[in-house]
Amino acid sequence: MNDAFDSMKLLRNPRLRGEPMRQFKHLLIISCLAGICSFFLATDASAAESGALVWDTGKHSAESLPPDAVARREGWKEVAGENVIVTGDVCMANGSLALAFRKGARGGEWYYRLGGTMVKGPTLALVGAGADRAKTLGAFKVIDSTATNALLEVSATSEAGKKMVARFFLKKGKPFVETQPGEGTEKIRVEAQSQHAVMPDPYAGDLVVSASETEANELRFPGEHVLAQLADHGNAIVLCAWRSPDQAVKVTLEGAGGQRVISGAEVAYRKDRHMNVWVAVLAAPSIWCQKKIGDLNAVKDVKLDWTIPYLALWRADYRRDHGWIDSWKVIIKKPNGEWEGFGASPKKAGTVWHPMRGTFAYPTHLEGESVYLRNPVYERHPQTKNDPNGLAVIYPFQKIGKSPKNVYGVMDVLTEAFEEAPEFTLAEDLQVKRPAWDRYPGVCYTTGEVEKIFDDNKEKEKKQEIIERFKKMNLFCITVRGRIEEYMNWGKKTREFCAKAKAEKPQIAALVDELDGQIAELDTVYEKLKLAERTPAAANALTDQIEAQIGSDDPKRVDKVKDLGRATRTIASNQDAATGELRRVAKETRQQAGYRMMAAGDDASFDFANEIRRRALEVLRTSMGVEGGFTD
Residue partners of 71: CB distance under 8 A and separation at least 6: 44, 98, 111, 117, 118
Q: Residue 625 and residue 583: Cα distance in Å, rounded?
A: 12
Q: What are the DSSP calls for 339-374, one per residue? A: EE-TT----TTSEEEETTTEEEE-SEEEETTEEEE-
Residue 434 has pLDDT above 60, yes or no: yes
Residue 30 has pLDDT above 50, yes or no: no
Give me the mean pLDDT over the 443-452 stretch: 95
SS3 17: coil
Q: Residue 308 and residue 257: Cα distance in Å, rounded?
A: 29
The stretches of 41-118 forming alpha helices (DSSP H) are 45-50, 67-72
Residue 46 has pLDDT above 50, yes or no: no
Query: Across the strands, what pairs with 289?
Result: 394
Q: Residue 539 and residue 471: Cα distance in Å, rounded?
A: 11
The pLDDT value given to residue 22 = 40
First to last CA, the chain: 23
Most distant CA pair in the chain: distance in Å? 101
Name the amino acid, one letter, at 292: K
Residue 181 has pLDDT above 70, yes or no: yes
Q: With helix as H, strand as E and coil as C, how does 424-435 read?
A: CCHHHHCCCECC
Query: For residue range 584-622, what is the model confidence (pLDDT) as tens digits?
Result: 999 999 999 999 999 999 999 999 999 999 999 999 999
Which of 237, 249, 310 minimizes the C-alpha distance to 38?
310
The pLDDT value given to residue 426 = 78
Residue partners of 72: CB distance under 8 A and separation at least 6: none
* Domains by residue range for the chain, with CATH: 1-16+293-403 (no CATH), 41-283 (2.70.98), 443-627 (no CATH)
pLDDT band at 425, cuts 50/70/90? confident
Among 37-41, 511-515, 616-620, the least confident range? 37-41
Residue 549 has pLDDT above 50, yes or no: yes
Query: For residue range 192-230, what is the model confidence (pLDDT) as tens digits?
Result: 999 999 999 999 999 999 999 999 999 999 999 999 999
| Positive or negative torsion for Cα 362, 368, 371, 375 | negative
- 561-568: Cβ within 8 A, 24+ apart: 561/450, 561/451, 561/454, 562/451, 562/454, 565/447, 565/448, 565/450, 565/451, 567/542, 568/443, 568/447, 568/539, 568/542, 568/543
Among 40-49, 94-103, 459-468, 510-519, the least confident range? 40-49
Which of 478, 514, 522 minimizes the C-alpha distance to 498?
514
Q: Residue 508 and residue 600: Cα distance in Å, rounded?
A: 10
pTM (2 d.p.) = 0.90
Q: Residue 275 and residue 272: Cα distance in Å, rounded?
A: 8
Query: For residue range 302-354, what is the model confidence (pLDDT) as tens digits?
Result: 999 999 999 999 999 999 988 899 999 999 999 999 999 999 999 999 999 99
Residue 626 has pLDDT above 60, yes or no: yes
Among 159-163, 256-260, 286-290, the least confident range? 256-260
The pLDDT value given to residue 609 = 98
The pLDDT value given to residue 51 = 59
The pLDDT value given to residue 52 = 66
Segment holding 158, helix H or strand E = strand 149-158
Upper half-sphere CA count for residue 182 (Cβ side, 13 Å): 13
Residue 44 has pLDDT above 50, yes or no: no
What value, to the nearest 5°, has the Cα angle with vertex 11 and ends 330 and 512? 100
Give me the mean pLDDT over the 286-314 stretch: 96
Percent of the chain past pLDDT 70, that is, above it, reads: 92
Upper half-sphere CA count for residue 149 (Cβ side, 13 Å): 7
Q: Residue 372 and residue 306: Cα distance in Å, rounded?
A: 10
Percent of the chain past pLDDT 90, that is, above it, reads: 84
The pLDDT value given to residue 6 = 34
Are the C-beta atoms of 269 and 181 separated by less than 8 Å?
A: yes
